[in-house]
């Protein structure tokens, strides 16, 4: 492994030269096996790797992340997929390994945002996982290793330009990290705080019920938030993030954004959506865009006009009442927040998307108001005392 790797350019094409290197002159923990990853690719890759590596350690399950612009579009651990999820994730024709299931979940939760993702996988990549990746629009992948057949599949993607990166699973970043901004060097201790079972024991609501699956989902949310640009919140269901609200300046906007994504994830399972009459040969990205338009209330006449090119028959959109009735069936959702809720508005919005279990650090002057709102909905909420900002 070299100590330095030259890149085509930095964040933008006009930022040259660019490279990644080890300040102490040691070897990089990564090896490029295919393609030529860029600056943003490696920012995504390193953050995503740390996320899945921690998920694997915390849950003892294979983990996957789909990253875009240094935040996860999706993250998940391996859990069985029912036939509906297999269909909306476009893997109903494939045999799935546990690792492939984790990636199908990570990619499938928000397919619009995962378009052109950089992937991280916690385990050695097997052939079933590589076959999913081969047919999706993606920029690259980082993993601790690759089975020979999987590597050949991935190296053939994008005519050999697909970025395939191997990382040393034993690599541990230095305890102190630095970055330069406008010629000024910032230094801090690396955020090496791990999630612990005790983080969810300070239950502040009247409800003290926290099932094992909710405990797992709160851990998924905790680790996902640790590598999501702040402010951020994360909705989790069945071991996968179903809505990530990242980089917003207000907490309630994070919740609204993530809640909208969670709602879209669940609405995609509506029988009407499952049976939309797509024309044969319609590609997956076109289907994703059409489904997003079909489920929006503000779809434009121009967008509707384009449906004749995609659908055999023009479908009738679901009414507000039909969508609300379906969304009322979404229950048992877990929600994590990287900092405290300053107002109860976030709790009210979370309830509309089936949230039952919450963690946040606590510490707001309005904690009592927030707890009272959670009690009104019968939610279980833990104060962790741990802030999870990431910048």
pLDDT in tens, 240-281: 999 999 999 999 999 999 999 999 999 999 999 999 999 999
Euclidean distance between CA atoms 142 and 119, whole angstroms: 6
The pLDDT score that the predictor gives to residue 293 is 95
Give tens-digit pLDDT for 357-368.
Answer: 999 999 999 999
Burial 80-117 (b: 16+ CB within 10 A, else e): ebeeebbebbbbeebebbbbbbbbbbbbbbbbebbbeb
Asked if residue 126 has pLDDT above 90, the reply is yes
The angle, 0 to 180 degrees and rounded to 10, between the axes of the packed helices 320-327 and 251-267 is 90
Give tens-digit pLDDT for 76-110.
Answer: 999 999 999 999 999 999 999 999 999 999 999 99
Kindly state whether residues 48 and 116 are assigned to the same domain. Answer: yes
Q: Is 378 left (phi over 0), alpha (psi -120 to 50) or beta?
A: left
Residue 230 pLDDT level (bands cut at 50, 70, 90): very high
- Residue 12 C-beta-side C-alpha neighbours within 13 Å: 2
Asked if residue 204 has pLDDT above 90, the reply is yes
- The residues that bridge with 382 in the sheet, in sequence order, are 203, 359
Average pLDDT, the chain: 96
Total-model pTM: 0.96
Cα separation values, 134 from 97, 99, 304, 336, Å = 15, 15, 31, 32
Is 34 domain-assigned? Answer: yes
Kindly state whether residues 306 and 259 are assigned to the same domain. Answer: no
Kindly state whether residues 240 and 341 are assigned to the same domain. Answer: yes
Full domain range(s) for residue 230:
193-266+327-383
CATH code, domain with 298: 1.10.287
**DSSP single-letter state for residue 188:** E
Residue 3 pLDDT level (bands cut at 50, 70, 90): confident
Residue 314 pLDDT level (bands cut at 50, 70, 90): confident
Q: Rounded to the nearest 5 degrees, what angle is found at the Cα of 351, between the Cα atoms of 378 and 83?
A: 105
Is 136 domain-assigned? Answer: yes
Number of folded domains that form the chain: 3
Kindly state whether residues 204 and 147 are assigned to the same domain. Answer: no
The pLDDT score that the predictor gives to residue 2 is 76
Euclidean distance between CA atoms 17 and 4, whole angstroms: 13
Tell me which residues are annotated as active site: 68-69, 231, 391
Asked if residue 65 has pLDDT above 90, the reply is yes
Kindly state whether residues 157 and 205 are assigned to the same domain. Answer: no
Q: For tokens 């709102």, name the residue.
A: 373
Other Cβ atoms less than 10 A from the Cβ of 342: the count is 17
**DSSP single-letter state for residue 338:** S
| Over residues 138-155, mean pLDDT | 98
Is 272 domain-assigned? Answer: no
CATH code, domain with 93: 3.40.140.20
Kindly state whether residues 50 and 108 are assigned to the same domain. Answer: yes
Asked if residue 213 has pLDDT above 90, the reply is yes
Euclidean distance between CA atoms 258 and 39, whole angstroms: 27
| Over residues 327-332, mean pLDDT | 97
């Amino acid at each position: 492994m070299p100590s330095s790797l030259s890149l085509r350019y930095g964040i933008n094409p006009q930022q040259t030269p660019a490279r990644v290197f080890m300040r102490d002159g040691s070897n990089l923990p990564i090896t490029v096996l295919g393609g030529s990853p860029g600056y943003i690719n490696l920012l995504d890759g390193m953050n995503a790797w740390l996320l899945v590596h921690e998920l694997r350690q915390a849950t003892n399950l294979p983990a996957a992340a789909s990253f875009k612009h240094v935040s996860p579009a999706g993250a998940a651990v391996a859990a069985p997929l029912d036939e509906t999820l297999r269909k909306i994730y476009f893997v109903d024709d494939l045999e799935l390994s546990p690792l492939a299931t984790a990636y199908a979940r990570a990619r499938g939760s928000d397919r619009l945002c995962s378009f052109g993702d950089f992937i991280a996988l916690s385990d050695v990549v097997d052939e079933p996982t590589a076959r999913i990746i081969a047919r999706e629009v993606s920029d690259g992948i980082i993993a601790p290793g690759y089975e020979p057949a999987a590597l050949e599949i991935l190296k053939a993607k994008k005519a050999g330009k697909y970025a395939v990166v191997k990382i040393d699973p034993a690599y541990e970043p230095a305890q102190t990290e630095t970055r330069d901004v406008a010629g000024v060097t910032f230094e801090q201790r690396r955020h090496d705080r791990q999630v612990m079972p005790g983080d969810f024991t300070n239950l502040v609501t009247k409800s003290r019920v926290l099932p094992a699956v909710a405990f797992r989902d709160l851990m998924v949310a905790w680790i996902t938030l640790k590598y999501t640009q702040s402010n951020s919140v994360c909705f989790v269901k069945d071991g996968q993030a179903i809505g990530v609200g990242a980089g917003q300046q207000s907490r309630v906007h994070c919740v609204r954004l993530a809640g909208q994504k969670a709602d879209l994830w669940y609405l995609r399972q509506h029988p009407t959506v499952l049976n939309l009459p797509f024309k044969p040969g319609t590609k997956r990205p076109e289907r994703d865009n059409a489904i997003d338009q079909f489920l929006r209330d503000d779809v434009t006449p121009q967008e509707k006009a384009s449906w004749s090119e995609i659908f055999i028959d023009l479908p009738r959109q679901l009414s507000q009442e039909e969508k609300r009735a379906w969304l009322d069936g979404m229950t048992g959702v877990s929600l994590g927040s990287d900092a405290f809720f300053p107002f109860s508005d976030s709790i009210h919005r979370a309830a509309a998307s089936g949230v039952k279990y919450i963690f946040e650090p606590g510490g707001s002057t309005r904690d009592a108001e927030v707890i009272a709102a959670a009690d009104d909905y019968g939610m279980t909420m833990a104060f962790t005392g741990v802030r999870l900002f990431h910048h």
